[in-house]
Structures are given as structure tokens and as C-alpha cells.
Structure 1
């Protein structure tokens, strides 16, 4: 099954070969993605001009469609409610600026702007040559977002999914039996995908991932470790 819909790369993103599907980008443009999934998708857009342009087009089309819809009556207190919400956001913003930054990243790995308001734990041991960090999302504490840092030649256990797993590569390369993924590449996997990401020789790999549901690991020990991490 082809999960990602390849898009012809532009000159500025010639190394990016795996992108969200148009359906996924449409869900982003219309506000239909869960928070964790949205943040990982926005991380991809920071690196991919092609997908940014596609989302802008989808938003423009949506605006035209909205203009053609008949006017809907507003509540009498609509303006007061909107102003109160703006005041609440402004009061929350100073606290958002004081969150902890990401765990140390290697040279060339950049903390996504989409996650600038989030905090992250220190790197935690997951297995030999494997570490992870929990990303805490202030507006959605239930969001299952994390960083994975896997050494060269190491791999995650084979698994499938009882929900959706999004992975955005920010450093290094891995191959999961379907394709090679490198910096900027995006992958969306579900229950139809059974894979084992293997980091390529030469460098470690760092990814940001969001999971809706759980990963279904093949082995008992892997399932136990996955439960500890929340995968």
C-alpha cells in the first residue's frame, strides 16, 4: 500500500520525496486534524515549499466556497465571546514562552517552529542505541507526540498500527522495507502497514512522531517497551 503521495520536488526541497496526501493536507487546511497530527504535519510544511503552496491553494479554494454559502445568523453575544477568547489567549501567551526547550540536538537538526510553544523531556533510554523524548503540548496534554533518536544501524521492532502513526524526519535516514526516508520526508502509516524502520549507516536518525491509537509490536518485549513509552 502506498501511504504517502509523492509530489514532484521543487528546487528548494529536491531531497524531499515523501509528502502528505492531498486528503491529509485538505484536513489540515480545514482544521480537521487532531492536535498532535497537525503539529507533525506543520513541521513537514516548514521544510517543504511544495506542500506549503498546496495548503495555501486548498485554503484559497475553501475561502471561495465559503463566500458562496448563504449567510448564517450570528448569536447576539458573538462579538463579546470572540473578544473574551482573544483576551484569554493573550493571557496564556506569556506562560507559553517559558516552556523548556528540546533535548540537545546534533548540528543540522532544527527544533520545528510548530513545536516552539511545546516542552520536551530529556533523552530517555529506550534500548541500545535508541533514545526518546516526550513532547508535551500545552493545548492538548493528551496528544501522543514524541521524538525518536536512533543510532546508525539500529532499528525499531517490527510493528503495525491500530490507529495512525505520523513520522517526520528531521535528521538522518531510515528504510522501513517500503522506501528510504530522509530529512524532510513525511510518512503516514496505519493498520495496512507492517514495517520495521532501520536507520542507515553513517549517521543517527531523529524523527518527530505522533500516534493516534497504539503501535502493535510483534514481540512481547517490544510490546512491553512500547507500553512504557506510550507507543
Structure 2
């Protein structure tokens, strides 16, 4: 399959936080999905990790405590004991993801996650809630919107990350297609409109809430955690 032509990428600050392991779970997952599709950003993150490793090696060694070695062995024993307990546990069965149209691929970053069936939220509009193991607070979901349909106008009380995996939408600022990434915050007021010819499927993570202009839209948004 030919790689998508990607025009919108995460900012360097976000990629640096990803490389440092400092992103909240939902934001990390959506950013990792972008990396699956974008060779340029994968190379960027690899470079940032290499630079970080070099900086760590240049740091002056800190003096060790007298009991540092004993503590290290104790932690190793605890990890081995936990690994043995996990080995006897019944493997977690992940439900099949909701069906996608031909040409759309379920992201590898969500392989251990479960997602609900597609649920109706309006004419030509469906959504699926993604559950992340060990991170119930992560607000991650999929949106599947038909051609010519649109979300209500909204801004954000927090941060919204969106990764397109199929189709295209225009939100008044730019056109976003397969592989494109968008980060919107309280300074962005937009209305994503799916382009004619194909439905659009996106993975989104919201840290905070979307603030829709109308009362009914806000009510629907509260039902799906947007």
C-alpha cells in the first residue's frame, strides 16, 4: 500500500515529550498512531531519543548510597516474582475492533485496547469508545462521519488530538487527510466537515472537554465524553 501524503504533523515539543516518555496515555497513543503512518516523524523521534541518550551519558555521575546495590537486587527479585505471577494468569482476550472500510487499518498502537461497536450519535455520524488497559482515565475514541456531514462548531477546554486514518475533513483552517495529525486547544474554534466522496474515520484523544456552541450539541458531547 502506498504511504499517504502527510501534510500535518505533531510539533517538535510533542515529539520530544513522546521520546522522553512524558505524555499522558491518551495523547501518547494518538501520537504513536501518527508515527505508524509517518516515516519522517519516526525518524525525528529516533533522533530525539538518540540526542537524549547522549546527553545522559555526558552527565556527571552522582554518588551512590551505601545500600544502592542491595536495593537494586531487591527490586530485581520483586520484578521476577511479579513476572512469575503474570505467567500463571489467564491471557487477556481483546475483543475484535469495530469494522473498518476497505483500505482502513486498525492502528497497532491500539492492539491491546478494546473498542465498542459503532454507536449512533447523529445522521451519518457514529463513534466508538476505546478502553485502554491500566488507564481508565484516558479519553480515547473513534469518530466515523459520512461524506458531507460535520461536527457542530466548537472550541476546547483542554487539548484535543486527532489522527486521520481514513477519508478527509476540512475544519476552516486546513484540509486533513489520511495520516494527518491535528492538535487543537482553547485558541482554536472550528467545525470539521467531511469532504464529499468518502466517509472519514479518526482516532481522537481529549484531555479536558470540547465546548460546543449549541446546547443540544453540548448535551450530546457530554454523553460520549467529548
* TM-score, shorter chain, exceeding 0.5: yes
Partner of 1:78: 72
Partner of 2:154: 159
Match of 2:17 among 12, 23, 27: 27
What's the offset of the Cα at 1:86?
6.1
What is the total number of aligned residue pairs between the two structures? 220
Tell which structure's C-alpha radius of gyration is larger: 2
Q: 142-151 or 84-93, which moves further after superposition?
A: 84-93
What's the offset of the Cα at 1:81?
1.9
Partner of 1:120: 115
Structure 2 CA distance, aligned partners of 1:59 and 1:174? 33
Partner of 2:184: 189
Structure 1 residues 226 and 29: CA distance shift in structure 2, 3 A: same
Structure 2 CA distance, aligned partners of 1:138 and 1:132? 19
Q: Secondary structure at the match of 1:162?
A: strand
Partner of 2:137: 142
Match of 1:15 among 5, 26, 31: 5
Q: What CA deviation, in whole Å up to 9, does each residue of 1:44-71 have, x standing for no partner? A: 0000000000000000000000111122
Contact 1:44 1:168 in 2 (8 A): yes
| Superposition RMSD in Å | 1.9
Matched, 1:218 2:213: yes
What's the offset of the Cα at 1:97?
4.7
Structure 1 residues 208 and 97: CA distance shift in structure 2, 3 A: same
Contact 2:4 2:178 in 1 (8 A): no
Partner of 2:104: 109
Structure 2 CA distance, aligned partners of 1:98 and 1:153? 37
Structure 1 residues 78 and 211: CA distance shift in structure 2, 3 A: same
Structure 1 CA distance, aligned partners of 2:189 and 2:88? 41
Q: What CA deviation, in whole Å up to 9, does each residue of 1:19-61 have, x standing for no partner? A: 0011110000001110000000000000000000000000000
What's the offset of the Cα at 1:83?
5.2
Consecutive unaligned residues of structure 2, counting only runs of 5 or more, are: none
Q: 114-123 or 14-23, which moves further after superposition?
A: 14-23
Contact 2:95 2:115 in 1 (8 A): yes
Consecutive unaligned residues of structure 1, counting only runs of 5 or more, are: 1-11
Structure 1 residues 217 and 147: CA distance shift in structure 2, 3 A: same
What's the offset of the Cα at 1:102?
1.1
Structure 1 residues 47 and 82: CA distance shift in structure 2, 3 A: farther
Q: Secondary structure at the match of 2:75?
A: helix
Q: Secondary structure at the match of 2:126?
A: strand
Structure 1 CA distance, aligned partners of 2:91 and 2:192? 34
Correspondence 1:193-204 to 2 at 5 A:
193-204=188-199
